[in-house]
Amino acid sequence: MQGYTFVKGEHYPVEHLVFETAPEFVEEFLEVDHEVWTLGEAESDLFDHIPFLYKEVWINENKPGEMHFIFIWESMESWKKVDDKDIQAALIARFESKFKHPYKLTRCIQNEENFGLHRYSRFERI
């Protein structure tokens, strides 16, 4: 099909987090998330490149304030390196110093699935 690509047989680990905050704070949450988490993990001194292939943010319009964060990591090894408890604690502290409103992590889907979720294929417009 012209204008689209289809790739299959991939094996990239998927991280899927679900957060909630008051609807009026979603935009601020997303801005701070991008500054602290996305760029913090992308610009880590642990790597000479960004260790994830991409990150998507989904907003649930049926549940105002609910946000889904999807990462596709290049490998479990890279993900685990960034998931170091000291690195994560520093990023959490930085995030919470900038985002002063209540929020909660409501689901950590990769943990529910024992890190078994992987991207196998993708069909996308180019």
Q: Which helix (H) or strand (E) holds 111?
A: helix 109-112
CB 13 within 8 A of CB 83: no
Give residue 8's pLDDT: 97
Give residue 42's pLDDT: 87
Q: Which amino acid is at 124?
A: E
Q: pTM of the full predicted structure?
A: 0.92
The CATH number that domain 4-125 falls under is: 3.30.70.100
Q: What is the pLDDT of residues 38-79, one digit of tens each?
A: 999 888 888 899 999 999 999 999 999 999 999 999 999 999
Pairwise CA distance, residues 125 & 3, whole Å? 6
DSSP character for 23? G
CB 16 within 8 A of CB 116: no
Pairwise CA distance, residues 4 & 6, whole Å? 7
Query: How many of the other CB atoms lie within 10 Å of CB of 102?
Result: 9
Nearest of 44, 53, 89, 96 to residue 71 by alpha carbon: 53
Q: What is the pLDDT of residues 90-125, one digit of tens each?
A: 999 999 999 999 999 999 999 999 999 999 999 999
Query: How many of the other CB atoms lie within 10 Å of CB of 78?
Result: 19
Asked whether residue 1 carries a pLDDT value surpassing 80, the answer given is: no
